[in-house]
Structure 1
Amino acid sequence: MTSSFSAAWLRGDARALSFLPDRYRHPAARAEAVAAAASRTVSPALLDVLVARNARLAPSPARERHLELLSRPGTVAVVTGQQMGLFLGPLFTLYKAAAAIVAARALSQETGRPCVPVFWLQTEDHDLPEIDHCVVPSASGGPLRVALDLPDAAASRAPIAHRRLGPSVTAALATLRNELGDEPHAHEHLSLLERAYRPEATLAEAFTEVLSAVFAEEGLIFLDPRDARLAPLAAPVHRRAIQEAAAISDALAAHVRALSDAGFAEQVHIRPGAPLGFFSPDGIDGPRYRLDPAGPGRWSLVGHPEDATVTTDALLAALEREPLRFTTSALLRPLLQDTWLPTAAYVGGPGEIAYFAQLAPLYAHAGLPMPLVVPRARFRVLDDRARRWLGKLGLQPDALNTPREELLMQLAARDATQPLEPPEALEARLLGAITAELDRSNGPLLALDATLEDALQRTRGTVRVAVSRLVGRYGRALARRDTVTAERVDRLRTWLTPNGEPQERVLGLPYFACRVGTRAFTQRVLDACVPFSGALQDLTP
């Protein structure tokens, strides 16, 4: 049975640390990582693109200062990144950016070296169903999924950098305004979204415009790898991935086998002999396909409707002529990132931590030091409504992790005007009494007739089934006694564990920004971030 690598790593499991040391916890190791990154510089070509692209965003003297620092030798970066979720997607996007900002500040204070936060826009991805929606708590009780109407979303393979929002974004914004328009700060936040999320804008443009405004005071820098001017800078990484695919995949596969032997699952499948990138045969805004070996000097395009193939020579010629037709995978992206930037640390979530556990052979092959891997900040927001409902129910937030029916039974038993047993106590009492009587009768009955043993066993089974059914009905009756309690529990579950998942992985920023204020909520997150922690914290804006 496999276990979660990130969970084991965060709790300091020696098995996990053998694959990815927790250097982020130790000041001396952090200083070493900063010193190693400070020996690398940002190329003038990359810097020119960063300055030009960031000049289009919300005015930010802090961002201009960070860009100027990045041009100086010795400056290092703390990088994070995320897909372009609608209206910024789940809350953890905000938390990752905040954690990168706070980590950059902390490293600067610890080492005395300038350190700037950089957000890597994951515009090369093509998985639209993961990003075409945003979820907010609904006044009617359940999570409300606000989504774009993109009929071809599931089949699309083109990088989302080229995907425009289209007319359905207007309806999505109207749904948000209808749901959240009465909240105290709705006008401010919804107006920000409406300015950015225009039908003619791309998903990436709108996302960047909003996130840059949210963190304008902190000077967060944005890097879009799909900028055509950056494609030639990525070409050497893609060329090596193609030409040295066999050696790289062999090394990665051996590492994955060791991870598996240690009890951890493979986060990213290693395809034997395959490069770690995608190729778009029909042009830069066309569908992208993985490459698999198809014989000497030839590659198959995985998933291509015509099972097309391409030669190595043709790939390398396309890379020379039009490098933007090549995009990275989850494993190749960090290498490109750290080839371009003097990365001291990368702030990632559980999945990315598991990616990095596989990456040591790739960094060694490229001759690059791995950055510190820092867990992102994790929060559970308890706003005034959630705290009020918790108070009325007399519950602590962790109680909402209990299955719904079990929690309702516990509350009904606790709040009954007459003492009522919990269902499990009733079941134990009834089965105990009946089993004791059957045990007492066992000897005399078998002494009378040994063939009665089967009948006794059947009776025991029948009694267990009957008692179980009775206790189930009893528990449901307890749960139904207070519909108000049930409604409050359901509403709290929508806020704290929507769809049974952690709040930060489902709910988006709009509800909290509309209720508390965009800047006020963002500042609360920044103030609560503990650098180099990764522990779950409750946030009470």
Structure 2
Amino acid sequence: MNVIPESLPANQPLAERYINDFASVSSLYNMNVSDPQTWIKRAEWLDQSKHSRIERGALVDCLTIYNRQYNNHEAVQQSLEALRTDEALVMVGGQQSGLFTGPLLVIYKVITLLTSAREASNRLQRPIVPVFWIAGEDHDWDEVNHTYLPDQDGAAVKIRLDHERGGHSPVSRTFINELNTEHILNQFESLLPDTANKNQWTQTLRNIMEQATDLSSAFAQQLGQLFGRFGLVLMDSDDAAIRRLEIPVFRQLIEHNDALTQAYVAAAEQVRQYGYEEQATVDEESANLFYIHSDEVYTNERLLLFKRNGLFTDRKGLVVFTKQELLTLLEQHPERFSNNVLTRPLMQDSLFPVLSTILGTGEIAYWALTKQAFPVLNMQMPPIVPRMLFTMVEEKVKILMQQYQLTFDDVRQRFDDIRQTWLSEQEDYHLEKRFTTFREQFQQLYAPFVDSLREIDPSLPHLGETTQHKIDLQIDYLYRKSQNAIARQHQTGLQRLDRIAYALYPFGKPQERTINSYYYLGRYGERWIDQLLTLEPDFNGSHRLVYL
């Protein structure tokens, strides 16, 4: 494994500034994780404020039950026992429950989490427990129900798990069964490359999906299988036992709702003053909480709450509560409550002594809206570690890049132009020049001829212009068909060229946002993960090419 730094701009301008020029946006965040003193200061604050968080022993009890079910490894139990002690702090990262672990970025987030926890533990000489927060309360089914694997030509093929409930219920409460999953397992197996590891992974996934009742539990088992041996602790944010522990925090979110809203609105204005768009919805009427509603029509419908005329309600008016009614329901049914993206950071820090949180670029951008909210609950925003970015380059792709003399930047920024130039250089018919000449000659003959028809009828030149437009379209059509014919003559060369783009930048997006991790697990086994974990942590969020 050879690792080479390679520029890849962040997809969020604010995150790009956070990573490359922290001082210019420091008022939107708390501390710069690149400063060696940051973790020392954060650890001191966490030690002083330990009594303000949820009782640690009760939290560990809940996590122990959950991890024994989905992530039962000795190293995980050791992490949990360490977490019982006041000495231990936590590094947290999280993601929605993606199908078959989702895109590669999920794996890279865990890699960042584990290596950062290891580095922090070495620096502070105290246990730092890695915790992965599975966002099971999220209800965006269309975001988590699919993944991509390359086909035999290298093109990414979508694998999608359809469900009649769509995207209304929390993912952890959207139940699946063998009828839902059999066809996607067959598709997955047909796409996974034929290697010595294929049978192991396909059978393991079949076993997990057959046992799973929802995507979150399947996701947990898959992450546990890959990372439990490194002591990664898993938590589902929709776990009913955890939710009961969170009652005091939800109570604060309800009682201080107006102050929190003011904090979010002020932060959004500050972000705009910096010249950026806020990356999460900030509404003066929003309660920034969800209520999970069921009745004769709806089952586990996750409703965003708003404050209107002193009442808490949803957009459709399906539920209406006074503040006291909401607080009473919280005590009786805490499982009906969940956070949105702006209150989830507050909940995370209320549960755990968070030394740092691992975030992708989109998350870094919207976390800027939360800094002023933390003090409302007597907390401080944690330092942010940008998730590490990788692009895997297999040997066959590297050889093709050398053959066509392409760099990663060529593929990312100008591949279509390079592809067209290459094709033009292959053909001996000089199509572009011939068609350009033909158009010029046609125009030279056609324009005077049409103009001469004015003597017969003044309206004829206008008709001639219309006719010319139709002829131009037919010439363009003939040109495209000629290009396609030449492309067929050079199909093998184009396929090899396209394979480079398919592999490194599918659909014009970073590889990590599309391709599923099991493609590389299938080809290289767990040693692929082991090797990534040997890399030095990068707290600057830079991108690296990994030559396999």
Same fold per TM (> 0.5)?
yes
Aligned 8 A contact 2:286 2:305 in 1: yes
Secondary structure of the corresponding residue to residue 321 of structure 2 = strand
Q: Higher relative contact order by CA 8 Å / sep ≥ 6: 1 or 2?
A: 2
Quick check: 1:287 aligned with 2:301?
yes
Aligned 8 A contact 1:38 1:76 in 2: no
Aligned 8 A contact 1:5 1:354 in 2: yes
Summarize the Cα distance change of 1:73–1:14 in structure 2 as closer, same or farther, 3 Å threshold: closer
Query: Shift of residue 72 of structure 1?
Result: 0.7
Aligned 8 A contact 2:71 2:220 in 1: no
Alignment of 1:82-93 (within 5 A): 82-93=95-106
* One-letter amino acid of the counterpart of residue 522, structure 1: I
* C-alpha distance after superposition, 1:238-293 (max 9, x if no partner): 22222222221112101111110111111111121432210123289611111112
Give 2:230's aligned residue.
218
Quick check: 1:31 aligned with 2:31?
no
Q: Which of 463, 485, 504 is 1:496 aligned to?
A: 504
* Distance in 2 of aligned mates of 1:104 and 1:13: 22
Q: Which of 491, 496, 501 is 1:483 aligned to?
A: 491
Q: Which of 10, 17, 35 is 1:8 aligned to?
A: 17
Give 1:443's aligned residue.
none
Give 1:398's aligned residue.
409
Give 2:535's aligned residue.
528
Q: TM-score, normalized by length of structure 1?
A: 0.85
* One-letter amino acid of the counterpart of residue 162, structure 2: D
Quick check: 1:349 aligned with 2:363?
no
Secondary structure of the corresponding residue to residue 278 of structure 1 = strand
Alignment of 1:223-242 (within 5 A): 223-242=235-254
Give 2:28's aligned residue.
19
Query: Shift of residue 336 of structure 1?
Result: 0.6
* Distance in 2 of aligned mates of 1:200 and 1:469: 55
* Distance in 1 of aligned mates of 2:111 and 2:399: 27
Q: Which of 370, 382, 387 is 2:393 aligned to?
A: 382
* One-letter amino acid of the counterpart of residue 45, structure 1: A
Alignment of 1:286-325 (within 5 A): 286-296=300-310, 298-302=311-315, 304=316, 307-325=318-336
Give 1:441's aligned residue.
none
Query: Shift of residue 236 of structure 1?
Result: 2.0
Query: Shift of residue 140 of structure 1?
Result: 4.2
* Distance in 2 of aligned mates of 1:66 and 1:413: 60
* One-letter amino acid of the counterpart of residue 506, structure 2: P
Moved more, 478-487 or 327-336: 478-487
Alignment of 1:459-474 (within 5 A): none
Query: Shift of residue 475 of structure 1?
Result: 8.6
Secondary structure of the corresponding residue to residue 197 of structure 1 = helix
Q: Which of 489, 493, 514 is 1:506 aligned to?
A: 514
Aligned 8 A contact 1:409 1:478 in 2: no
Give 2:214's aligned residue.
202
Secondary structure of the corresponding residue to residue 293 of structure 2 = coil
* Distance in 1 of aligned mates of 2:285 and 2:259: 8
Give 1:160's aligned residue.
171
* C-alpha distance after superposition, 1:403-456 (max 9, x if no partner): 4430113334666799x99x8xx89x99xxxxxxxxxxxxxxxxxxxxxxxxxx
Q: Which of 43, 52, 70 is 2:56 aligned to?
A: 43
Aligned 8 A contact 1:180 1:514 in 2: yes
Aligned 8 A contact 2:256 2:376 in 1: no
Secondary structure of the corresponding residue to residue 216 of structure 1 = helix
* One-letter amino acid of the counterpart of residue 109, structure 1: N
Query: Shift of residue 79 of structure 1?
Result: 0.3
Give 2:201's aligned residue.
189
* C-alpha distance after superposition, 1:172-230 (max 9, x if no partner): 11111112252331112222211211265211111101101101221100112222222
Moved more, 21-30 or 81-90: 21-30
Summarize the Cα distance change of 1:367–1:475 in structure 2 as closer, same or farther, 3 Å threshold: farther
Secondary structure of the corresponding residue to residue 120 of structure 1 = strand
Give the aligned CA root-mean-square deviation in angstroms.
3.0
Q: TM-score, normalized by length of structure 2?
A: 0.84
* C-alpha distance after superposition, 1:457-499 (max 9, x if no partner): xxxxx9xx99x989x9799898776322221222222211111
Moved more, 251-260 or 196-205: 196-205
* Distance in 1 of aligned mates of 2:407 and 2:12: 28
Quick check: 1:144 aligned with 2:166?
no
Aligned 8 A contact 1:46 1:230 in 2: yes
Aligned 8 A contact 2:313 2:319 in 1: yes
Summarize the Cα distance change of 1:21–1:300 in structure 2 as closer, same or farther, 3 Å threshold: closer
* Distance in 1 of aligned mates of 2:249 and 2:299: 20
* Distance in 1 of aligned mates of 2:62 and 2:421: 59
Aligned 8 A contact 1:170 1:199 in 2: no
Summarize the Cα distance change of 1:123–1:85 in structure 2 as closer, same or farther, 3 Å threshold: same
Aligned 8 A contact 1:90 1:506 in 2: yes
Summarize the Cα distance change of 1:21–1:36 in structure 2 as closer, same or farther, 3 Å threshold: closer
Summarize the Cα distance change of 1:414–1:529 in structure 2 as closer, same or farther, 3 Å threshold: farther
Secondary structure of the corresponding residue to residue 135 of structure 1 = strand
Q: Which of 355, 366, 372 is 1:361 aligned to?
A: 372
Secondary structure of the corresponding residue to residue 148 of structure 2 = strand
Q: Which of 94, 98, 101 is 2:114 aligned to?
A: 101
Aligned 8 A contact 1:106 1:531 in 2: no
* Distance in 2 of aligned mates of 1:181 and 1:469: 41
* One-letter amino acid of the counterpart of residue 100, structure 1: L
* One-letter amino acid of the counterpart of residue 249, structure 1: T
Aligned 8 A contact 2:280 2:366 in 1: yes
Give 1:113's aligned residue.
126
Give 1:254's aligned residue.
266
* Distance in 1 of aligned mates of 2:169 and 2:151: 33
Aligned 8 A contact 2:114 2:130 in 1: yes
Aligned 8 A contact 2:22 2:32 in 1: no
Aligned 8 A contact 2:90 2:131 in 1: yes
- Work out the number of aligned pairs and report it: 498
* Distance in 2 of aligned mates of 1:263 and 1:3: 12
Give 1:538's aligned residue.
545
* C-alpha distance after superposition, 1:367-395 (max 9, x if no partner): 11221101011100112232232233232
In structure 1, runs of 5+ residues without a counterpart are 431-461
Give 2:91's aligned residue.
78
* Distance in 2 of aligned mates of 1:141 and 1:71: 47
Query: Shift of residue 51 of structure 1?
Result: 1.4
* One-letter amino acid of the counterpart of residue 100, structure 2: F
Query: Shift of residue 527 of structure 1?
Result: 2.0
Query: Shift of residue 163 of structure 1?
Result: 1.7
